[in-house]
Structure 1
Amino acid sequence: MMDAFYVVFGQGRELDPLQMGLRSIAIFVIGLALIRVSGRRSFGQRSPFDSVVVILLGATLSRAIVGASPFIATVVASFVIVVCHRVLAWACMRSRRFELLVGGTEREVYSDGKFHADEMHAALVTRTDVEESVRQKTGSRSMDNVAAAILERNGEVSVIRKRA
């Protein structure tokens, strides 16, 4: 059985184009299955917590395609990464403290006509970063119509406009 596996998928770094192509198809299907196990969260919200899964899966699964690591071991490692993500996401749902530890918190970087230097410093965000987000979201160079700007956990700046 394993001999047939090695004939079809190759072994080590000595892979021909057909074997790499077949590995690519297999990893594509396995990757889709892992994404389904991981859930929509890891590919929808794009928080740093979720991005780690995407980066690790890409890096790990690519090793199986090119033969840099054993095929089965790489798939198992990828599955473990996805299971860890699911367990951490479940724990975040159950504990606000754990969620803050893993996912962080949003920071109000601007409100009532003032930039909040302490929040901006803690998040390593500059005034220019906030102003750029305001221009992109409002289409205006002015901060006059902005009630607040909040740096969200996913790194985006939400802009809340003043009521007219």
Structure 2
Amino acid sequence: MSDLLQLSAPWWHFVLRAVIVYALVMVLIRASGKRAVGQFTPFDLVLLILIGNAVQNGLNGGDNSLLGAALLASCLIGLNYLVAFVVARHPQARALVEGQPVVLARDGKVFRDVLRRELVSNGDFLEAMRETGCSEIEKIRLATLETNGRISILLADEA
């Protein structure tokens, strides 16, 4: 029973591991692009499960104690809160963590090269048009890939 609370390493090893793994996963998710984060598909769910499994041993270092799990969970939640706190108060940090919106179309012209670079399929773009109630590309004043992966479309004023 006592081994449930017995850590296999000093407490600060767990904190250091949590910080390193959190930063690594954040960088990898950020590098995967806005569309990968914004469009949650079954493949993304599988990827998240596998990433969680892949980094598990890096986090706990083979420790299976309840205290170790509580320490790691607390540290990860604290790191997430800290990142959200900093991002909410510093525009430079927000740009670094979340990226910048990208213009996909302007004044009825769709930038196909930007769609390809941002991994936005034509079907995803057409779906965003339908959700906005836009039936023709020519009616688009501005289409933007937001930092959360959603496509927002502003329509030209119909006079």
TM-score normalised by structure 1 residue count? 0.53
Structure 1 equivalent of residue 89 of structure 2: 94
Structure 2 equivalent of residue 77 of structure 1: 72
**Can you give the 5+ residue segments of structure 1 that lack an aligned partner in the other structure?**
7-46
Deviation at 1:78, TM superposition (A): 1.1
Structure 2 equivalent of residue 115 of structure 1: 110
In 1, the alpha carbon distance for the partners of 2:115 and 2:87 equals 25
The amino acid that maps onto 2:128 is S
If you compute each CA radius of gyration, which structure gives the higher value, 1 or 2? 1
In 2, the alpha carbon distance for the partners of 1:118 and 1:88 equals 32
In 2, the alpha carbon distance for the partners of 1:89 and 1:73 equals 24
In 2, the alpha carbon distance for the partners of 1:101 and 1:162 equals 31
Deviation at 1:141, TM superposition (A): 3.6
* RMSD of Structure 2 on Structure 1 (CA): 3.1
The amino acid that maps onto 1:101 is L
Matched, 1:125 2:125: no
Percentage of pairs with the same residue: 19
Aligned pairs for 1:1-164 (under 5 A) are 48=37, 69-138=64-133, 140-164=134-158
**Can you give the 5+ residue segments of structure 2 that lack an aligned partner in the other structure?**
5-35, 41-47, 57-62
State the SS of the aligned residue for 2:137.
coil
* 1:54-101 deviation per Cα after TM superposition (whole angstroms, max 9, x unaligned): x69xx59xx9xxxx9322211211111111112212222333222111
The amino acid that maps onto 1:158 is S
Relative contact order higher in (CA < 8 Å, ≥ 6 apart): 2
Deviates more, 1:68-77 or 1:98-107: 68-77
In 2, the alpha carbon distance for the partners of 1:69 and 1:143 equals 56
Aligned length: 108
In 1, the alpha carbon distance for the partners of 2:84 and 2:118 equals 23
